[in-house]
Amino acid sequence: MPKYKIFIDTNVWFSALLGSKNCSSLIEKHITREVMGVVSQKVINELVKNTALKNPRSIPTMKKFLETKPPKIVKIPEKLDKEIMRNVDLKDQLIFQAAVNSKVDLFVTGNLKHFKVKELERKYKIKILSPTEALKYI
């Protein structure tokens, strides 16, 4: 059983496809079941779109991964908590709400500046970390 349930933001998956060492190491921990990777359908949609636009050579790798070692995919939330609306950049609100709704232990993103980390961690009891911080934490 995985030790942590981790919501992995789109930019981490995309960076792993581009060869980022820390992002790849984090995804590897999902593949080996050290952690349970969680995403929302919105993350999958963004990943497919961004890969097709910015790095089409990675499409076969992404497709193979999603078919063989998929993360747990949760639905896109219908409502946002007021706290999330105040403390998360607009484009990341649905993604963070999905993380909260799925009761993860960690939220991993390469865009920490889009989140008021202390306020969100206090309210939701979810650690919000960069890929490097998440690897150290795990």
- Extended beta strands in 1-64, E state: 4-8, 35-40
Distances (CA, A) of 98 to 12, 34, 48, 102: 16, 22, 18, 6
Q: What pLDDT does residue 114 have?
A: 96
Q: What is the pLDDT of residue 67?
A: 84
- The range of the structural domain enclosing residue 121 comes to 4-137
Q: Tell me the whole-structure pTM to 2 decimals.
A: 0.91
Q: How far apart are CA 13 and CA 121, in angstroms?
A: 22
Please state the φ and ψ torsions of residue 79, each to the nearest 5 degrees: -130, 155
Banded pLDDT at 131 (limits 50, 70, 90): very high
At residue 1, the pLDDT reads 74
What CATH number is given to the structural domain containing 10? 3.40.50.1010
